[in-house]
Structure 1
Amino acid sequence: MEQILEGFLLVAAISVALNVIFKKFQIPTIIGYIVTGTLISEFFNLKSNDEISHIAEFGIAFLMFTIGLEFSFKHLMSMKKEVFLNGGLQVCLSGFVMGVMLYYALHLKDETALIAGLAFALSSTAIVLKTLNDNGDVSKIYGRKALGILLFQDIAVIPILLMIDMFSSQDASINELLLKTFTSAVILIVVLFLLGKYVINWIFYKVVQTNSQEVFIATILFLVVGASTLAHFFGFSYSLGAFLAGMMMAETQYKHQIEVDLIPFRDLLLGLFFITVGMQINFVVVLSNIWLVLGLVFSIMVVKAIVVFAVLNIYLKRRVAAKTALSVCQIGEFALAVFGLMTTRNLLDVQTAQIFIAASVISMFATPFILKKLDVLADLVEREVVVESNETLKPQKLKNHIVVFGYDRLGQ
């Protein structure tokens, strides 16, 4: 118990100190958390374990839940082009190109190169959505396009995990695995839909009558963790279950209060998640393969950016396509889980997995800086057109009108 408290104290002290320093230089707190994880792993020999990683993963789940609160089922269907067309093309094209690169450059087996290429096609939901949320850019055109791609990537984790099972298992047939996944998806969606339509409103009505904020928060936590665990039970990611739970609660009249009450838990667990990301860096492997790691980071980010830009440039302005492409060009946190699973299933050797993990973390480390300079970088592709008007606004006589101050979440 004392060791746990000492470890917690050390992590809290380092993360607070680093973020205070980094804030003076306008460096995002995400970087502070990743550096904290790297420092405590390298110099204090504190290593991430499965229990900590599972708890930290709920940081992404809570983030996806708050995003789900902004999207009803009707809203999601209105984004089907962003999710299924843009996201599908991005994952398939990026995964194929990077799979071919890995096959010839690192001489990986066919199936290993394919799965690794698809894993590298995934972007960081945690970093991108947190930054878009903080900047209020989720509702902008490039924010919607990025969100659609990220949502499809969350869904794409399922077939990627299915491939790992197929290539590492000698028992189950492909048809059996596909049937099992399809059946699980149908059951999960039906269960959550029925709960959202007939049960959730009644539960919150009863909870609100208690006039207890503690009971209200406990109910939210129970529903989020419950939906995430249910999704995981059926073989899907925690974050996908949390996103569906958020969409269920978006239909209730309590959505804004739910979001406000959940933010502290979300941010705390997200911080823990980024610390565990930093703890996965092995400096010995990174330094001994530094040029390979950096070359991998550069190649993957460039390929992903080009693919997304090419897909979106067909029907969007070049500037919007460029901003979206730069937003999702990094390697995501789910790739770390995929590489870990590939290692345990003997599809990937430990050293190559460490190189892939190091490349993933470095790309995530660079992402907040890219997002911070997104407009400047987009200007290199196409400058933003500013329309100036010399017309003088004339006063109008209004009656029985509404004045809205600000246009944040409550205004919307």
Structure 2
Amino acid sequence: MTDSLQSVLFLLAAAVLVVVVFRAIKLPPLLGYLVLGVVIGPRALGLMPDTPQSHALGEFGVVFLMFSIGLEFSLPKLVAMRRIVFGLGALQVGITVAVGVLLLPLALPIDWRGGLLLGGVLAMSSTAIVVKMLADRIELDTAHGRQIIGVLLFQDLAVVPLLILVPALAHHAGSLVVTLGFAMAKAALVLSVLLVFGQRPMRAWFNLVAKRYSSELFILNVLLGLFFVTVGMQLDLRAVVANFGWVLLALAGLMAFKAALIAGLARIFGNSLGAGLRIGLDLAHVGEFAFVLLAQPGATGIIPAQLMQPVLAAMLLSMLAAPFVIEYSERIVRRTVGAEWLNRAMELHQIAVKSMGFDGHVVICGYGRCGQNLGRMLDEESIQYFALDLDMARIHDAAAAGDAVVYGDGGRREVLIAAGVMRARALVITFHDAQAALRVLEQIRALRPDLPVVVRTLDDTHIERLEAAGASEVVAEVMEGSLMLASHALMLLGVPVRRVLRRVQATRASRYHVLRDVFQGNVLHDGEAQERPSARLHAVYIVQGAPCIGRTLGELALGELGAEVSAIRRHGLKSLSPAADTVIEQGDVVVLFGPDDTIGAAEIRLLQGWRARTGLAKALNRERPA
């Protein structure tokens, strides 16, 4: 008992460390668990013995993994995607298994049972890796992204009958037919329970656990991790090194075969060659459920031990390669498919044509509810906007209603250029995905470092990163929601409305650079006859030879012109809090705030010198009302 407890504690500590490292290098933790098992296993460093107790813990992980399959499926979703799931997905799995049964026994020392098992193994791809990568690349809602998800749905669904069939394949030939018949009946029953009867109670239980922030979620993840650690422990590095040539051949063969098969099937289902190749490359690897199949009790009796090691090694290497293949799939497609350049050029041409009449407009990245509300407000102020979104259904409905929205990824340089970002007055990122927003900011920093960018986020977690990446303002939903809650609560408690507004305005003024000047002074007066002069943000890029270089903001005295320095971005890496002793450097982006006339005077002082504007500054001061 003591040895088992010590082994589990050591395994947990090592797993936590590996997860931290793999998250830091932006790789899925699942790969970390597999690598950890290889390193500490009995066939490598020998720090963790291969005992029945460790396998028993791993089997609990398989149980929870199968529960998660049931939670992910829903009959309405399967019906809605039936053409992709039961068409493209079913053909991919079926053909791969058929190739395994018919061809692999001719090349490997296995019979048709081993071919069926290896065919099922090769048919699987990693849902965890692919979904994460597509989400990071904002491709889940693209045409090829939806088809990839459809194929993954069927692969996960096919795991259930395969798990039941593998132990049955180990029986003797005399009873094999009867055993397989019972296995298929059990598979059909289990699928029915998972899809029809099991979803509501299990989903309700998991939701309850999540809402309670219960430790059961941690235990679930730990058990899943322990399973993959035990799988990694099965890999013998010495056997892999001895057969490294065969391992590389198996790796290249399985990824090339899957990519070609899926790309060809995608073409049959009406996709372009470029889209089909993207789908094939993203699904070319072997997934986590393949390890689950090979870990079944009957698998070792079907596949010889000398073949199992190269197979495990090729599978593990394919999963390690998957994030990199997916990351560079776009470049691979562009280099290999000549027509893909033409298709991309046509898409960009359509965006450029639609944005051609826009000048001094606002580019909106994301046209969900937030983007649509912003668009309506801009319309009411007669300010042009041009929106980019990735949801084709939303784009179709919005475009039919007359909104200026097109299909495009704001994280791509060429799309932003086609949307007229070089002529835009501002850019607003309305989705709350911080990683996607950082991709957009990276492109803006290279194209238009002077362009004001407003970013939406859920909370304060990513504010500093977004501001450092070049965001002029970051609006946190939690902040605005708390202000509205406080406003209503104070008014219900009898606090005068003007005092509530003053407190809200003061809080916003301290949080947002843009609003500091707006709320200087007292509360807004009801029935104001005249509004204050319209103020706006304007960014000035400090070019080589500008007379302001080497001088401090105090020396430049831009405040006497009526312009406020809201922020200074240096080398696009961080936002400086402007102070009187801040020295201007070449390449800085000085963000000014104020009315148009004072901003113009301040820009000329920065770029041409303050002496040339002394007369104009005095004139502006005389004309400015007291």
Shared fold by TM > 0.5? yes
Distance 1:357 1:181, change over 3 A: same
Match of 1:406 among 423, 431, 437: 431
Say yes or no: does 1:365 pair with 2:309: no
Q: How far apart in 1 are the matches of 2:334 and 2:223?
A: 35
> Which of 319-328 and 290-299 deviates more?
319-328
Say yes or no: does 1:169 pair with 2:172: yes
Q: How far apart in 2 are the matches of 1:339 and 1:75?
A: 29
SS in 2 for 1:313: helix
2:150: which partner in 1? 148
Match of 2:272 among 299, 314, 317: 317
Q: How far apart in 2 are the matches of 1:406 and 1:370?
A: 27
Match of 1:117 among 116, 119, 123: 119
2:59: which partner in 1? 54
> Which of 288-297 and 182-191 deviates more?
182-191
1:244: which partner in 2? none
2:196: which partner in 1? 193
Q: How far apart in 2 are the matches of 1:107 and 1:290?
A: 18
Q: Quick check: 2:168–2:298 contact (8 Å CA) kept in 1?
A: no
Partner amino acid for 1:181?
M
Match of 2:129 among 124, 127, 138: 127
Distance 1:306 1:165, change over 3 A: same
Partner amino acid for 2:357?
E
Same amino acid, percent of matched pairs = 27
Partner amino acid for 2:104?
L
Partner amino acid for 1:35?
V
Distance 1:17 1:200, change over 3 A: closer
Q: Deviations over 1:273-318 (max 9, x none)?
A: 4433322211121111111111111101100010000000231133
Say yes or no: does 1:278 pair with 2:232: yes
How far off is 1:353 after superposition?
Answer: 1.8
Match of 2:379 among 386, 389, 396: 396
Q: Deviations over 1:5-42 (max 9, x none)?
A: 54345434444545555556545444433322221112
Partner amino acid for 1:169?
H
SS in 2 for 1:168: coil
How far off is 1:172 after superposition?
Answer: 3.9
User: Which of 1 and 2 has greater Rg?
Assistant: 2
2:524: which partner in 1? none
Q: Which has the higher contact order (CA 8 A, sep 6+)?
A: 1
1:334: which partner in 2? 289
Distance 1:326 1:268, change over 3 A: farther
Distance 1:390 1:264, change over 3 A: farther
Distance 1:273 1:183, change over 3 A: closer
Structure 1 residues 63-102: aligned runs within 5 Å = 64=69, 67-68=72-73, 72-102=74-104
Q: How far apart in 2 are the matches of 1:312 and 1:337?
A: 27
Partner amino acid for 2:305?
V
Q: Quick check: 2:167–2:299 contact (8 Å CA) kept in 1?
A: no
Q: Quick check: 1:59–1:273 contact (8 Å CA) kept in 2?
A: no
SS in 1 for 2:77: helix
1:213: which partner in 2? none
Q: Deviations over 1:74-98 (max 9, x none)?
A: 2220111111111121122223335
1:210: which partner in 2? none
Q: How far apart in 2 are the matches of 1:15 and 1:196?
A: 30
Q: How far apart in 2 are the matches of 1:18 and 1:191?
A: 33
Partner amino acid for 1:324?
I
Q: Quick check: 1:57–1:273 contact (8 Å CA) kept in 2?
A: yes
Q: How far apart in 2 are the matches of 1:60 and 1:179?
A: 23
Task: Tell me the TM-score normalized by structure 2.
Answer: 0.48
Q: Quick check: 2:71–2:199 contact (8 Å CA) kept in 1?
A: no
1:224: which partner in 2? none
Distance 1:136 1:3, change over 3 A: farther
Q: Deviations over 1:50-100 (max 9, x none)?
A: 2122133256446546644xxx42222011111111112112222333555
How far off is 1:339 after superposition?
Answer: 3.4
Equivalenced residues, count: 355
Gaps of 5+ in 2: 363-377, 382-428, 434-457, 459-476, 478-626
Q: How far apart in 2 are the matches of 1:345 and 1:24?
A: 36
